[in-house]
């Protein structure tokens, strides 16, 4: 009798099968309708495709949420407030959100420096122009709102609690569940090949493998963050931040897009000297960028545990 009471509500196989079903439910609708299915003449970035996909994703995530809550309430017999806690919906800790964003910003210290100082975007940030421009297109809404919200609810808020209620340790949950998130992005390979028919197959495969790798790595971080903070909003905002920042450059010279101080009027006799100054200046920017890139990575490693510590943690990750 005691052994039966100690058994977890879900088996690893059941949680895995349901996770696969959720992943298929999330991706499959993209290809069932002509309004969401890309073609050589219709890009996934077309506003009509984005709007249609957002509608389908909303339905898919809603269905998955209903199923998960039902299973937690009936099969796992989790109390109502505890269900909200497991999903990371309540309570929403502002401190955890701020600390999570700070930790993510530390990791992206180099790219932030490049955007803010080298490219001079800090003025736009203060005036709020950058936010307005980012959200003034359907691509922006997909990348910074719909994508992070739907993906984090499905792949973190729903999948992680199901696996926590199995015999898997929290560490294994961190390592395993992001694989579904990475697999969910493999369909971009088909889309890329379809919309870029003249691109050789090998580069397309390499591109997809790289995407699978960095989405899985981000998934590890997001799952770790979710378990440590118990806050899905913190993870959504971290996801949005990473989408906005993009992959950090790890090679090449860093140069401003526009010469600092505005365009200069030059004659033939001083063009070479001006270009020489620009090249020398770019080396300075590059050194500063790569120093901050390394410093950010070290700072991230040093602050990873302290900035994710929370009394609302869903599990102890070791």
User: Would you state the structure tokens that stand for residue 153, as one six-digit string?
Assistant: 């609810």
| b/e map 167-176, b = 16+ CB within 10 Å | ebebeebbbb
Q: How many beta carbons lie within 10 A of that of residue 313, not counting itself?
A: 17
* CB of 263 closer than 8 Å to CB of 132: no
Show which residues are catalytic: 151, 185
Q: Measured between alpha carbons, how far is 262 from 208 in angstroms, rounded to an integer? A: 39
Task: Quote the CA–CA distance of 282 and 286 in Å, as a whole number.
Answer: 6
The pair of structure tokens assigned to 132 is: 């307005």
Q: What is the DSSP string of 276-314?
A: HHHHHHHHHHHHHHHHHHHHHHHHHHHHTTTTT--TT-S
Helices 201-229 and 187-195: angle between axes, nearest 10 degrees: 140
d(CA 208, CA 203): 9
Q: Show the tokens assigned to 173.
A: 């949950």
CA–CA separation, 29 vs 12, rounded Å?
26
201-229 vs 232-245: helix crossing angle, rounded to 10: 150
Residue appearing with tokens 């984090």: 152
Q: How many CB atoms lie within 10 A of CB 242?
A: 18
Q: CA torsion angle for 233, 104, 148, 230 (degrees, to 10)?
A: -30
Catalogue the E-assigned strands of the chain. none
- 3-class DSSP assignment, residue 42: strand
């Amino acid at each position: 009798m005691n052994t039966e009471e100690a058994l977890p509500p879900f088996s690893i196989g059941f949680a895995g099968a349901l996770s696969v079903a959720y992943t298929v439910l999330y991706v499959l609708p993209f290809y069932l309708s002509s309004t969401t299915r890309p073609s050589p003449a219709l890009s996934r970035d077309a506003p009509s495709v984005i709007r249609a996909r957002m509608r389908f994703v909303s339905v898919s995530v809603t269905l998955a949420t209903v199923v998960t809550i039902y299973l937690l309430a009936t099969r796992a017999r989790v109390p109502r407030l505890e269900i909200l806690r497991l999903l990371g919906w309540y309570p929403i800790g502002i401190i955890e959100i701020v600390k999570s964003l700070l930790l993510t910003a530390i990791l992206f210290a180099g790219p932030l420096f490049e955007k803010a100082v080298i490219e001079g975007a800090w003025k736009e940030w203060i005036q709020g122009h950058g936010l307005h421009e980012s959200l003034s297109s359907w691509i922006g809404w997909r990348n910074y709102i719909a994508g992070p919200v739907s993906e984090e609810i499905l792949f973190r808020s729903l999948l992680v609690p199901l696996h926590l209620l199995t015999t898997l340790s929290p560490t294994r949950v961190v390592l395993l569940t992001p694989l579904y998130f990475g697999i969910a992005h493999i369909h971009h390979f088909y889309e890329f090949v379809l919309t870029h028919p003249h691109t050789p197959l090998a580069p397309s495969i390499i591109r997809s493998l790289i995407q699978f790798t960095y989405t899985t790595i981000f998934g590890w971080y997001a799952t770790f963050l979710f378990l440590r903070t118990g806050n899905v909003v913190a993870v959504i905002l971290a996801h949005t931040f990473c989408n906005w920042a993009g992959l950090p450059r790890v090679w090449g010279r860093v140069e401003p897009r526009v010469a600092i101080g505005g365009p200069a009027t030059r004659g033939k006799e001083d063009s070479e000297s001006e270009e020489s100054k620009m090249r020398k200046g770019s080396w300075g920017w590059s050194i500063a960028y790569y120093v901050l890139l390394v410093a950010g990575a070290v700072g991230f490693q040093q602050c990873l545990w302290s900035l994710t510590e929370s009394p609302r943690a869903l599990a102890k990750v070791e």
